[in-house]
Chains A and B, each alone.
Chain A
C-alpha cells in the first residue's frame, strides 16, 4: 500500500493521515466547497475537490470519490466513520475498481447493517441478543401476542428506524395498543417503511462495546471494552475504558462474546460489537459497527496500540501484529467529545470560531479538525474536537480531564464544554455508577428548576 485516499473529513481524516505519514504511506484528501480551508485538506499530500457542501453531492458522491482515487493513483480507500463507511455498495464498488477497501468485506457490511439479519446470525452463534420477535409484525394483535410472550416492559421499534423515531417504551398492553398505530405512522412518514417489531426493554441499561480486530487468516482478538453510556439523542458524549461497571468475570465473558460474534460473520479488519448491559450485568448484542469508531482513541490510549496502523496492516494482508495475551489495560482513558452546540439545549451552533486554543498537557491528546478562523458550517456533524485523557487511575484521569477542559478555549460559537465540565464533577459519574439515562435525568432536572 503506497497511497491511501481518505473518503472523509475533519478530525478523522487528520487522524488517519497521521498514521499514514508515520508508515510512509502517501495520503489523498477529498473535500467539498465548504471544507476548502480546513486543516485536513492542507495537510494531505494531495487534495481533490469533489463537490458542493451537501453530502449527497460530495462526501457521499461515489463517482467523484472513485474518480479522485483513479486520478491520483491511490491504491486504497479508507472510509473513516459515518458517511460511506458502512455502505455495502460503496465497498463493493471500491473492490470492483481494483482498489483496497480498508474495512471488512461488502457482504459482512450488508449483513450487519440489517438489524434482523444481524440478530439472527448472533443468536445462531450463541451470542445473547435482547429477547424479541424474529420478523416484523403484521398486525397489532401480533404485537400484543409477541409482547405478552416476551414480557413487559417492551420496546416498540421501527425496523428501518434511527434516531429514536418510531421508538416507544410500552410498560403494559394498553400502552402498546395506544402506541402501535402512531409509531407505525411516524415510521412510514420518516422512513417510508412501517415495518415494526418489539423486543424486551432493558431497564436502566448501560451501553458497553468491545473493540475487535481480525486478520485475513481468521485470527480474531479483542482490545477490551469501552463504556459509552453517556449519550444525548443516541449520540455518545463521553466514553471511557476500562468500564467502571464491569467486574473481571463479566468483562471476560463480554469480550469472549464479541470475539465469537466476529468469528460468526467471518469478520476482517477492525470492528466494534455493541452490547446493552442490564443492572444484573446480563449483556445482550445490540449491533456491530463495521468501521473505525469515533472513540477508537480511548482504546489506543488505554492499550498503547495504534488502531489505524492495525487497519492498514490487515488491509495490506499482514497478520495481526498483536496477540491476545499481550492486550492489557495499561492506563485509564476518557474521551470527551466537543460539539458545536448549545450546552443546555444541545441544539447545533454553527458559526465562525474566532479563537481556538486547545490545552497542551501531558497525557492529554487532542484529535481535532478546526483552528482559529474556521467556519463551522451547518452541513456536517457538530463534533469539532475529541479530547482524550489518560491516567494511572480513573481518579487521576478524571482530574486531569477537568484541568484540560478548564484550559480549552473556544470563542465565537457555543460549545458543550460547560456541560462536559458538569459531567466531570457529577457525583454519580465520579462514582462510576451511570446508565444511558444519565443526560436525560439531568436535563429534565435543569428544565424543572
Chain B
C-alpha cells in the first residue's frame, strides 16, 4: 500500500484530494501551516486515493501518514 506522509509538523489548512481521486506523482494533496509558513505536501507516487486521514484544523507531526493510496 502506498502512503503520503507529512513533511513537517503543522496544522492542516486545506485538503486537496478525496477518496476515489486519481492523483499523479508530485501532486499536492494537503497544505500544512507551521511557523507562518504554508507548505504543500506532495505525493511521491501516482495512484488512487483510498483514505484521507487528516481533516482541516488537525495538527499532524512530521512523518504522520495523511493520505493512503491504493
In this complex, the interface size class of chain B, counting residues with CB under 8 Å from chain A, is 10 to 19
Question: Which residues of chain A are within 8 angstroms of B8 by Cβ–Cβ distance?
Answer: 342, 347-349
Write the nearest CB–CB distance from B62 to chain A, whole angstroms.
Answer: 7
Contact between B10 and A348 (Cβ–Cβ < 8 Å)?
Answer: yes
Question: Which residues of chain B are within 8 angstroms of A351 by Cβ–Cβ distance?
Answer: 9
A345 to B10 alpha-carbon distance, docked (Å): 15
Task: Assess whether B43 is interfacial by the CB under 8 Å rule.
Answer: no
The segment out of A167-175, A248-256, A294-302, A375-383 that lies at the interface is: A375-383
A177 to B35 alpha-carbon distance, docked (Å): 35
Contact between A350 and B35 (Cβ–Cβ < 8 Å)?
Answer: yes
Question: Which residues of chain B are within 8 angstroms of A308 by Cβ–Cβ distance?
Answer: none
Question: Which residues of chain B are within 8 angstroms of A345 by Cβ–Cβ distance?
Answer: 7
With A340-B35, A348-B35 as known contacts, state yes or no: A378 contacts B9, CB within 8 Å.
yes
What 0/1 readout, one digit per residue, does chain A (335-351) give for beta carbons within 8 Å of chain B? 00000111001011111
Task: Assess whether B37 is interfacial by the CB under 8 Å rule.
Answer: yes
Contact between A380 and B35 (Cβ–Cβ < 8 Å)?
Answer: yes
A66 to B62 alpha-carbon distance, docked (Å): 38
Question: Please, which residue of chain A has its CB at the minimum distance from the CB of B39?
Answer: A347
Contact between A378 and B7 (Cβ–Cβ < 8 Å)?
Answer: no
Write the nearest CB–CB distance from A288 to chain B, whole angstroms.
Answer: 22
Task: Assess whether B53 is interfacial by the CB under 8 Å rule.
Answer: no
Question: Please, which residue of chain B has its CB at the minimum distance from the CB of A342?
Answer: B8
Write the nearest CB–CB distance from A281 to chain B, whole angstroms.
Answer: 34
Number of interface residues of A (CB under 8 A): 15
A288 to B37 alpha-carbon distance, docked (Å): 23
From residue 33 to 51 of chain B, which have CB atoms closer than 8 A to chain A? Answer: 33-37, 39
Q: Majority SS of interface residues in chain A?
A: loop
Set B33, B36, B59, B62: member contacting A349, Cβ < 8 A = B62
With A378-B35, A380-B36 as known contacts, state yes or no: A348 contacts B7, CB within 8 Å.
no
Determine which residue in B9, B10, B33, B39 has the highest number of CB atoms from chain A within 10 A of its CB, and name it.
B9
Determine which residue in B11, B33, B59, B62 has the highest number of CB atoms from chain A within 10 A of its CB, and name it.
B62
A239 to B21 alpha-carbon distance, docked (Å): 46
A379 to B10 alpha-carbon distance, docked (Å): 9
Determine which residue in B9, B33, B35 has the highest number of CB atoms from chain A within 10 A of its CB, and name it.
B35
Question: Please, which residue of chain B has its CB at the minimum distance from the CB of A350?
Answer: B9
What 0/1 readout, one digit per residue, does chain B (5-47) give for beta carbons within 8 Å of chain A? 0011111000000000000000000000111110100000000
Write the nearest CB–CB distance from A165 to chain B, whole angstroms.
Answer: 10
Contact between A350 and B7 (Cβ–Cβ < 8 Å)?
Answer: no
Question: Please, which residue of chain B has its CB at the minimum distance from the CB of A341?
Answer: B35
Question: Which residues of chain A are within 8 angstroms of B7 by Cβ–Cβ distance?
Answer: 345, 347
From residue 198 to 252 of chain A, which have CB atoms closer than 8 A to chain B? Answer: 233
With A347-B8, A348-B9 as known contacts, state yes or no: A381 contacts B36, CB within 8 Å.
yes
Contact between A378 and B39 (Cβ–Cβ < 8 Å)?
Answer: no
Determine which residue in A347, A379, A382 has the highest number of CB atoms from chain B within 10 A of its CB, and name it.
A347
What 0/1 readout, one digit per residue, does chain A (353-396) give for beta carbons within 8 Å of chain B? 00000000000000000000000001111100000000000000
Question: Which residues of chain A are within 8 angstroms of B62 by Cβ–Cβ distance?
Answer: 349
Contact between B36 and A350 (Cβ–Cβ < 8 Å)?
Answer: no
Question: Which residues of chain B are within 8 angstroms of A340 by Cβ–Cβ distance?
Answer: 35
Question: Which residues of chain A are within 8 angstroms of B9 by Cβ–Cβ distance?
Answer: 348-351, 378
Determine which residue in B7, B11, B34 has the highest number of CB atoms from chain A within 10 A of its CB, and name it.
B34
Query: Other CB < 8 Å A-B pairs besides A348-B39, A380-B35, 7 of them?
Result: A348-B9, A348-B34, A348-B35, A350-B34, A378-B9, A378-B35, A382-B35
Q: Can you sample 15 A-B contacts with CB below 8 Å?
A: A233-B37, A345-B7, A348-B34, A348-B35, A348-B39, A349-B62, A350-B10, A350-B34, A378-B11, A378-B33, A378-B34, A378-B59, A380-B35, A380-B36, A382-B36
Which residues of B pack against A, CB within 8 Å? 7-11, 33-37, 39, 59, 62
Which residues of A pack against B, CB within 8 Å? 233, 340-342, 345, 347-351, 378-382
Pairs A-B, 6 closest by C-beta atoms: A348-B35, A348-B34, A378-B34, A347-B8, A382-B35, A350-B9
